[in-house]
Structure 1
Amino acid sequence: MAQSIDKPPFFDGTHYAHWMTKMKFFIKSRDYKIWDIVEDGPFVPQRSKAEWSADDRKKMKLNCKALHLLFCAFGPTIYEKISSCESAKKVWDKLEVTYEGTDEVKETKIGLLTLEYENCKMDLEENIEKMFDRFSTITNGLKGYGEATPEEKLVRKLIYSLPESWDSKRTAIIEAKNLKTLKLDELMGFQSRLWVESLIGV
């Protein structure tokens, strides 16, 4: 069943990078000021509530809204790990360390994905759809770690990741399309059509 757009994406402890990207856009779509609170603070004022300024109260109200959105995305297991956090930023930071790892772990994962990206080639037993799915998994993984690649570069990488048997099709794509403006989805559709045509002898 499709998830309601009014509910935050649910996080069960797996596929953190995927969830994190979806949750970030979900929060921004509700109120960009709430995302600012998640990303930058506030930190809870270190004084009694009676001494809070109007600005303190405004920020803490946004903090409560941010915490509510985050808590609604978790089941009991995840909630227990972050329920003691007083600010949305602390929740976000703790999730990042817990499920994405320390900076060293993150750099290792980025390095492995980068190596996969650089060595990505279409396997002989793959069809174009499977190859594209594998390529997308790698590039989306890098994007989730903040390593976004310009679309033109992705398009060129995907085209030149095709095997030698696709040389004529590669040439057809390059001659028919402007690679500076070609989108990945458009490229995928074009490649799929060429692949089907090769199967039926068109």
Structure 2
Amino acid sequence: MTIFLQSLDYQLWHIIVNGARMPTRTIEGVVSPKPENEYNDNDFRMLQLNSKAKHVLFCAGGPNEFNRISSCHSAKEMWDLLEVTYEGMNQVKESKISMLVHEYELFIMHNDECISDMFTRFTTIINSLKNLRKSYSNQELVRKILRCLPKSWTPKVTAIEEAKDLSTLPLEQLLGSLMTHETTMKNHENVEVKKKKSIAFKASKEDSESDEDGDVALITSQFKKFVKSQKGKKALKKFPHNLESSKKEEPTCYECKKLGHFKNECPNLKKKEKFIKEHSKKNKAMVATWDDSDSSSSEEESDEEVVNFNLMAMEEDTSEDEEEY
């Protein structure tokens, strides 16, 4: 309100603080109010400024303020009434000043607070004291801010005290220096946090792998103990196909349909081949004694009979081997 009134007309603020000068006249040493018909231009101007100041105060306040000041005759009376309403009497002012001074003396920066938020709280206290006619010098404010910083800021505080003249150091320049240092500290903290996270991730990964290996070893040992126990043996007897499926599959011979060897290693096949070779020699000798005048058809029939004879002999031999096996 002070700045607003002064921006409109500085004489408005002068009238509000000191009161309006009413037109007067002096007759034989006696001062008395001047009649309206004797007002000059200067008198009308002073009266107009007083009415203008009252109008500004009426428009600036709300309904409650209007009810308080509507009965006042001058702008000064209105201003004094509002000042008492919101600031209180001298006793109330002293009490408020005492509370704010106590907050100022115990003011510190919190651990989870940044420089900007800390300075905002500090400025609120300073402005409240200034409105109550209590102010501090710039040097006192600078030293107070340096004292309220945490221990982690000790190196920075020492550097500022040694490099700067605190009696001439502006408060805004101090704020900028502290905010710059705060940004640097946060960058270093972020780098350290990333390193710690990477190390913790590697350690957790190794722990998880070792835990998995330990779990597998534990399960294996427990399963072996179970198999060796009586209950495990009974369970395996009930489910023999589980063991068969767990064993490595053996090869099957396509000749004798038995397990354990392939067809080229089958003893039955070797016997057949040996038998065929021996009998083929005998058959050739027998065929040579036959009549050369026989037709080709008779030769084919004789060959078929020889082959059938050989096959019957081989089947008998294989059946005997199977029974022995």
Same-fold status (TM-score > 0.5):
yes
Which protein has the larger Cα radius of gyration, Structure 1 or Structure 2? 2
Deviations 1:60-80 (A, max 9, x none): 221112112222212223212
The worse-fitting range, judged by mean Cα deviation, of 47-56 and 64-73 is 47-56
Residues 33 and 43 (structure 1 numbering): CA distance in 2 closer, same or farther, change over 3 Å? closer
Unpaired stretches in structure 2, ≥5 consecutive residues:
24-31, 190-325
Deviations 1:84-119 (A, max 9, x none): 111111111001111111111111000100111111
Q: Could you tell me how far apart the structure 1 residues matched to 2:137 and 2:58 are? A: 34
Cα pair 1:67 1:88 within 8 Å, conserved: yes
Unpaired stretches in structure 1, ≥5 consecutive residues:
1-22
1:153 to 137, 140, 146: 140
Cα pair 1:43 1:87 within 8 Å, conserved: no
Relative contact order: is structure 1 or structure 2 higher (C-alpha 8 Å, sep ≥ 6)? 1
Cα pair 1:121 1:161 within 8 Å, conserved: yes
1:113 to 92, 96, 100: 100
Deviations 1:31-73 (A, max 9, x none): 2211110111026678575266545433222111211222221
In structure 1, the partner of 2:36 is: 50
5 Å-filtered alignment, 1:114-193, equals 114-193=101-180
In structure 1, the partner of 2:289 is: none
- Displacement of 1:139: 0.4
- Displacement of 1:136: 0.6
CA RMSD of superposed structures (Å): 2.2
Q: How many residues align?
A: 180
Cα pair 1:41 1:88 within 8 Å, conserved: yes
- Displacement of 1:179: 2.0
In structure 2, the partner of 1:29 is: 7
In structure 1, the residue corresponding to 2:72 is in which secondary structure?
Answer: coil
Cα pair 1:44 1:86 within 8 Å, conserved: no
Deviations 1:159-188 (A, max 9, x none): 121122210111232344332222222221
Q: Give the AA of the match of 1:125.
A: D
Does structure 1 residue 68 correspond to structure 2 residue 55? Answer: yes
Q: Could you tell me how far apart the structure 1 residues matched to 2:138 and 2:169 are? A: 8
Q: Give the AA of the match of 2:71.
A: S
Q: Could you tell me how far apart the structure 1 residues matched to 2:186 and 2:89 are? A: 48
Cα pair 2:21 2:46 within 8 Å, conserved: no
Cα pair 2:11 2:49 within 8 Å, conserved: yes
Cα pair 1:38 1:92 within 8 Å, conserved: yes
Deviations 1:3-37 (A, max 9, x none): xxxxxxxxxxxxxxxxxxxx112212222211110
Q: Percent identity over the alignment?
A: 44
- Displacement of 1:120: 1.0
Q: Could you tell me how far apart the structure 2 residues matched to 1:184 and 1:52 are? A: 56
Higher helix content, 1 or 2: 2
In structure 2, the residue corresponding to 1:148 is in which secondary structure?
Answer: coil
Q: Could you tell me how far apart the structure 2 residues matched to 1:127 and 1:170 are? A: 16
Q: Could you tell me how far apart the structure 2 residues matched to 1:81 and 1:101 are? A: 15
Cα pair 1:113 1:138 within 8 Å, conserved: yes
Cα pair 2:19 2:76 within 8 Å, conserved: yes
Q: Could you tell me how far apart the structure 2 residues matched to 1:87 and 1:163 are? A: 53
Cα pair 1:151 1:183 within 8 Å, conserved: yes
In structure 2, the partner of 1:90 is: 77
2:68 to 81, 88, 97: 81
Q: Give the AA of the match of 2:45.
A: K
In structure 2, the residue corresponding to 1:72 is in which secondary structure?
Answer: helix
Q: Could you tell me how far apart the structure 2 residues matched to 1:183 and 1:159 are? A: 13
TM-score normalized by structure 2?
0.51
TM-score normalized by structure 1?
0.80
Cα pair 1:44 1:87 within 8 Å, conserved: no
Does structure 1 residue 40 correspond to structure 2 residue 18? Answer: yes
